[in-house]
Amino acid sequence: MEITTRSLWTLVHGMGFGALYLLACSGAIVLLYLRFSTEAQTNVPPRRDRFLGAYLTAMAALAWLTVLSGTYIIYPWYRAPASVGAAQLAGFPRALLLSNPATRAWHSIGMEWKEHVAWLVPIAITMAAVIVIKYGRDLRFHPQLRSALQVFLVTSLVAAGIAGFFGAMLNKNAPVEGGQTVYLVQGEKP
Amino acid sequence: MSLQTAIAQEDTAAIPNSTIIPNGSGAAAILSAGIGSFAVALFSILADKSVYVKNLSVFYKPTGPLSGVTTAAILLWLAAWATLEWRWRKQTVALARINIIAFALLSLSLLLTFPPATDLF
């Protein structure tokens, strides 16, 4: 069982940071709602507010790691121009997708949307984390702030979902491959 | 009614006393997030439509114009946040109006990053 370093980075970016963000985001939406629902206003220990702040901070870290690793580590491999006369485009995902009319839109719509929309996520979640940490228990007096947080959180979930969906489909149609081979497990002899 | 002086009636309703943090800081964070999100979409359109902006946006060659588009948007977001925070941190502002503006900017940024929508320009 082996994997190339580029595939490994793609896994870390998508399945590690990105997918974990998506999971955490649905949790954050519920957590924020439950924390400030009418029934939850009495005798809430301060540690629950600290936990919510820490949870959103961890999500913000995940979001930044996802977009930075995607933009500065994986995307350069994806968009590397194919060397002149290259008969084998497998090492050049963008060129491979554009070479076939059936796969061209995965780049022209999928990657073009993904590479930009993903950047809305760290902006939204960083803002949410800062507000929750700054206001803490006082958020219960600011329903409009809470509404805005929920809207930005849901939007970040949608944006991360778009980026995640296209990331998975792009990697299915034109995987980012190359680099050194990492041997994970030695198979048994037949 | 200016944003700085208006009282957000819903926000101050049923508050036991005036020791709570005013909503200005939160409003600054929300509006600047809308501005930053919109900047990502706006700069990506500009880089797509103008060769000059596209070349100007190449901060890191392997990543191409995306590096400049996103870096510029992030810097604009942080600058807007710092400015608004400095102006509103001790105030209660009309958050309903600010939320509407921020949501509009956020929706536009989702829409305008969609390539077929970008191609309309």
Task: Give A189 to chain B, closest Cα distance, Å.
Answer: 42
Question: How would DSSP label each residue in B47-85?
Answer: HHH-HHHHHHT-SBTTTBHHHHHHHHHHHHHHHHHHHHH
Q: By the CB < 8 Å criterion, does A154 face chain B?
A: no
Q: Residue A31 belongs to what H/E stretch? A: helix A19-35
Q: How far apart are CA A109 and CA B114, in angstroms?
A: 7
Nearest Cα residue to B111 out of B35, B41, B27:
B41
Q: Is the pLDDT of residue A34 over 90?
A: no
- The percent of residues above 90 in pLDDT, for chain A, comes to 68
> Which residue among B15, B66, B96 sits closest to A141, beta carbon to beta carbon?
B15
Quote the pLDDT of residue A124.
97
Q: Residues B81, B110, A126, CA angle at the centre, nearest 5°?
A: 35
Interface probe with B: pick from A49, A142, A176, most Cβ of B within 10 Å = A142
> What is the pLDDT of chain A when averaged over all its residues?
90
CB contact under 8 A, A142 and B63: no
Q: What is the pLDDT of residues B81-112, one digit of tens each?
A: 999 999 999 999 999 999 999 999 999 999 99
List chain B residues with CB under 8 Å of A67.
70
Bridge partners, residue A182, by sequence = A3
Quote the pLDDT of residue B28.
97
Long-range CB contacts (< 8 A, 24+ apart) of A43-51? A44/A137, A46/A136, A46/A137, A49/A132, A49/A136, A49/A137
Q: How far apart are CA A22 and CA A34, in angstroms?
A: 19
Quote the pLDDT of residue A35.
83
List chain A residues with CB under 8 Å of B37.
120, 123-124
Interface probe with A: pick from B59, B98, B110, B112, most Cβ of A within 10 Å = B110
**Which residue stretches of A36-181 are H helix?**
46-69, 75-79, 93-98, 104-105, 112-117, 120-135, 143-173
List chain A residues with CB under 8 Å of B110.
117, 120, 155, 158-159
Q: Considering only the C-alpha atoms of chain B, give the largest distance between any 2 of them, rounded to a whole number of Å.
A: 58
Task: Give B102 to chain A, closest Cα distance, Å.
Answer: 9
Task: Give A75 to chain B, closest Cα distance, Å.
Answer: 6
Residue A8 — very low, low, confident or very high, per pLDDT cuts 50/70/90?
A: very high
Quote the pLDDT of residue A1.
85
Quote the pLDDT of residue B1.
45
Q: How far apart are CA A100 and CA A102, in angstroms?
A: 5
pLDDT (average), residues B4-32: 69
Backbone angles phi, psi at A180, to 5 degrees: -70, 150
Q: Is the pLDDT of residue B16 over 60?
A: no
Q: What is the pLDDT of residues A58-114, one digit of tens each?
A: 999 999 999 999 999 999 999 998 876 666 777 889 999 999 999 999 999 999 999
CB contacts < 8 A, A to B, total: 115
Q: How far apart are CA B111 and CA A83, in angstroms?
A: 35
Quote the pLDDT of residue B4.
46
Q: Is the pLDDT of residue A38 over 70?
A: no
Q: By the CB < 8 Å criterion, does A144 face chain B?
A: yes
Quote the pLDDT of residue A87.
66
What is the 3-class SS of B1-46, one letter each residue?
CCCCCCCCHHHHCCCCCCCCCCCHHHHHHHHHHHHHHHHHHHHHHH
A160 touches A18 (CB < 8 A): yes
Name the one residue in this structure whose structure tokens are 């913000």.
Answer: A60
- The percent of residues above 70 in pLDDT, for chain B, comes to 85
Quote the pLDDT of residue B10.
42
Q: What is the pLDDT of residues A136-164, one digit of tens each?
A: 888 888 999 999 999 999 999 999 999 99
Quote the pLDDT of residue A85.
64
Q: How far apart are CA B48 and CA B119, in angstroms?
A: 9
List chain B residues with CB under 8 Å of A75.
62-63, 66
Task: Give B1 to chain A, closest Cα distance, Å.
Answer: 18
Q: Is the pLDDT of residue A185 over 90?
A: no
Q: Is the model's pTM score more than 0.80? A: yes
Task: Enter the ipTM.
Answer: 0.90
